[in-house]
Structure 1
């Protein structure tokens, strides 16, 4: 049976680090990074917040297995595998891309890490993978894996969103006067949680930087999960920035790589190669485009994902 969640990580914390640089001073802004890459030894960053209430729900339902979905670079896949190993669940991952079946030499470091942590990997064609939210498909999986608690792609559901309440309170305590909060966006759960639990303030802006192309389709889901419509009249104001994703999910470009190299060399904080690199790139572009006014107090949310970086 699953182990009880370790109490130390129910209300775990991570540092808020001030980032000082002439570029920021020249624009009259102050910048901090919320280092949630340091919040848990194996279930890193936003994935801890998304999983903690789901783990409790799986335990309460008497389930012995966690089953979920993701692509080859999914931090959620790696985090679910790590959670299973840490808390006594078996884990199953249904992975997009049947061309990877039986080809471990082509697997990402994320998939290799998940397998090393005990996850059974099943590879689906892209057409079959698109069925992952359909009731008939889920019913078939439930019948096949009756012992499994099924998590959606990215771990994004209402239990996951609820997990960001404590994080939002911690950010408020550590940096009470923030005006702008940047986060990376995959499935939209993290952005939805930060919007849902932000202290109301019409001067605040929560900016999600999409990591995949044509991400506007996420807006209705984020509205539904957060309860806050995509409308500047609401407080806090939130936006989904879709122009900083480069070639697409899991892909980069020279300007994104240059921004990542600059940031890491200046502040000695590693970024992941799928999400936070694009978040920082988006922040720098917004700054240099004049969309962050003088006097802004900016928090960059480091959502982890470092396990997915290529190992040299």
Structure 2
């Protein structure tokens, strides 16, 4: 096996994409690669995107933009956040990278894909290159197609967490016919199937929607215990929004006999570890165990 893979046991391996960059790690590095190249090609000096207060995507765009010498603008969900005297770690990091924020109400944020809202933003900020929330578009999918390489041909199942669908779309496109791609959505709902179908033509994939733990950014003490025990046992940190739920799901499916006997499973660790601090701040307020 590839020395860049982490063996969990005889059948399960992790591809540690979270180690590919100190700040713009995991699938964010892949998603932004061709987006930023396109921005440069079009001679855009400003990159604008969307996200929540603890968004991995916002932090990644801020740092990647700084590296490329681009001005970055983050449209942040939650108008009340503009009155905070101290920004959280994600927004503080992004601001330090030079990102300019516009905080909008949750109602207004729902219009993030509408032409009228985008046109208003262009009047306010000028001629920017738009990257959608979560980074998923054709350029992001192209970048995520580079996650798998020839060494990964040995695996029967490729597993990944799913947010906006860009990463799994890239994996599907670059997968081999003998492989099955399994996505573990971090959100409720079946709308992701339609989103993924926009970017893929293969049918060797499935979404397993039983491990969202109540929805996006929802967790419980069972998941916290699993994440902490996994790090203690394998020295691999998992985030509570995406990869923790994926690995929990993989282990549960193994126990239920979902995977064919003696098959090899590759789990894509897409990063997102900067979100642990934000989750722990919520857990402290709820007097619940922390992620270590």
The answer, yes or no, to whether TM exceeds 0.5 is yes
In 2, the alpha carbon distance for the partners of 1:254 and 1:292 equals: 27
Q: In the alignment, which residue of structure 2 is the partner of 1:196?
A: 173
In 1, the alpha carbon distance for the partners of 2:85 and 2:136 equals: 27
Q: Give the alignment partner of residue 286 of structure 1, picking from 222, 234, 253.
A: 253
Deviation at 1:279, TM superposition (A): 1.1
Secondary structure in structure 2 of the residue aligned to 1:176? helix
TM-score in terms of structure 1 length: 0.84
Q: Give the alignment partner of residue 34 of structure 2, picking from 53, 62, 82.
A: 53
Q: In the alignment, which residue of structure 2 is the partner of 1:41?
A: 22
Gaps of 5+ in 2: 281-291
Q: In the alignment, which residue of structure 2 is the partner of 1:143?
A: 123
Change (3 A) 1:104 1:68: farther
Deviation at 1:55, TM superposition (A): 0.5
Deviation at 1:67, TM superposition (A): 0.4
In 1, the alpha carbon distance for the partners of 2:4 and 2:98 equals: 31
Instruction: Map 1:66-145 to 2 at 5 A.
Output: 66-105=47-86, 107-145=87-125
Q: Give the alignment partner of residue 241 of structure 1, picking from 179, 195, 208.
A: 208
In 1, the alpha carbon distance for the partners of 2:90 and 2:199 equals: 27
Secondary structure in structure 2 of the residue aligned to 1:110? helix
In 2, the alpha carbon distance for the partners of 1:64 and 1:243 equals: 42
Deviation at 1:132, TM superposition (A): 0.6
Is residue 151 of structure 2 the alignment partner of residue 174 of structure 1?
A: yes
In 1, the alpha carbon distance for the partners of 2:236 and 2:244 equals: 11
Structure 1: 4+ residue segments shifted above 3 A: none
Deviation at 1:293, TM superposition (A): 2.5
Secondary structure in structure 2 of the residue aligned to 1:295? coil
Secondary structure in structure 2 of the residue aligned to 1:290? coil
C-alpha root-mean-square deviation of aligned residues, in Å?
Answer: 1.9
Residues 14 and 39, structure 1, Cα contact 8 Å, conserved in 2? no
Change (3 A) 1:196 1:108: farther
Task: Kindly provide the CA deviation profile for residues 71-115 of structure 1, in whole angstroms up to 9, marking residues without a partner as x.
Answer: 12221111000101111111110011112222154x543222212
How many residues end up aligned between the 2 structures? 278
TM-score in terms of structure 2 length: 0.90
Task: Kindly provide the CA deviation profile for residues 149-177 of structure 1, in whole angstroms up to 9, marking residues without a partner as x.
Answer: 11101010001101122222x2xx22322
Is residue 238 of structure 2 the alignment partner of residue 271 of structure 1?
A: yes
Change (3 A) 1:108 1:252: farther
